[in-house]
Amino acid sequence: MAGFFSRYQKLTLPLGLWLFSLLLLSVQSWQKGQSRPSPFSRAVAEVMSFPQRSYDYFAQGVSRSFKNYVYLVKIREQNVSLQKQIAFLEMENQMLREQAQESERLQALLQFQQSIDLASLPARIIGWDLSSYAQTLTINRGTKEGIVAGQAVIAFQGLVGQVLDEPGRVLARDRAAVLMVTDPTSRVSVIVDRTRDRAILQGAGRDDRMLLVYLPAEAKVEKGDAVSTSGLGGVFPPGLKVGTVFKTESNPFFGSVQCWVKPSVDFAHLEQVLVLTGAEKNPAAETSQAKTVNAHAKNKN
């Protein structure tokens, strides 16, 4: 028998499949008159359909994954494009806000310029030096506009300083250095508005305080008193607001009263100033400057 199976080994599998098919046909013939297939037929059909269902499920999954990947790639590209557009619009919006704010500052400066009696020239700050050794700024006006050393520089809040022309801070054709009133070397003759006491205001090397010294012995300066230029010395015209007293104390060397003054100008946010040329107002020149400022504001808008 073993020799028989070894001789006909190649026919065993086809013969087994044939017998299995015959068995299936017999069962189906036996179930011909019934409306439902036999449990055996359903089981065989379920087993035989499993590979096909597995293949369909796998193929559909791969197809969905590929479509989702392509969709996500497109969404990512659109997202990057939208982010670029948003960044550009935010930058453009920021520029428009800055231009609107600059136009408002120019209009305020023009109104202030028209309210003062002396001829003046508007200027924009283009540089700062706020170290503990020097408190200076640079403006975009120079000798070609008639700027000379010693001219007073103001803002609508009050006194800023004076134009310099010295080694290291030379007055040029298109720019000028301004010594701020907060510089340690700055000295301004001032007067206390309420008591009319004269004194000297000197810088302390900081943009938030100055020192009021050389007050009369009988001076009764109090916290909150306003300090303005006295006009003595011929550099600064009288009546320019300089600051407000926020602290009074005794001078440790002389025993007299000295005061700490807060500047009226907010130097941390200062952008535009006026240079007092010292000449009388020329109506034609003032009108020309007003037209220039208004045109600049319209262009900004």
Instruction: State the CATH number of the domain containing residue 168.
Output: 2.40.10.350
Is 176 inside a domain boundary? yes
Q: Which residues have CB under 8 Å from 52's CB, separation 6+?
A: none
Instruction: Check residue 234 and give left, alpha or beta (phi > 0: left; psi -120 to 50: alpha).
Output: left
Is 181 inside a domain boundary? yes
Is 53 inside a domain boundary? no
Instruction: Check residue 205 and give left, alpha or beta (phi > 0: left; psi -120 to 50: alpha).
Output: left
Reported as a single tens digit per residue, the pLDDT across 4-62 is 556 666 667 677 766 676 666 666 655 555 556 656 556 656 665 666 667 677 777 77
Is 50 inside a domain boundary? no
Distance CA 54, CA 56 (A): 5
pLDDT at position 143: 92
Is 8 inside a domain boundary? no
Is 147 inside a domain boundary? yes
Split at pLDDT 50, 70, 90, the class of 279 is: low
pLDDT at position 300: 47
What percent of the chain is predicted at pLDDT more than 70?
68
- What does the pLDDT average to over 176-193? 94
Is 196 inside a domain boundary? yes
- Adjacent-strand bridge partners of 258: 249
Split at pLDDT 50, 70, 90, the class of 290 is: very low
Is 241 inside a domain boundary? yes
Model confidence, pTM? 0.60
Distance CA 32, CA 293 (A): 104
- What does the pLDDT average to over 193-201? 94
| Residue 151 structural domain | 119-280
Residue 273 has pLDDT above 70, yes or no: yes
DSSP 281: P
Instruction: State the Cα torsion 153-156-158-162 to the nearest 10°.
Output: 0
Query: What number of CA atoms fall less than 13 Å from residue 74's CA on the CB side?
Result: 6
When divided into structural domains, the chain yields a total of 1
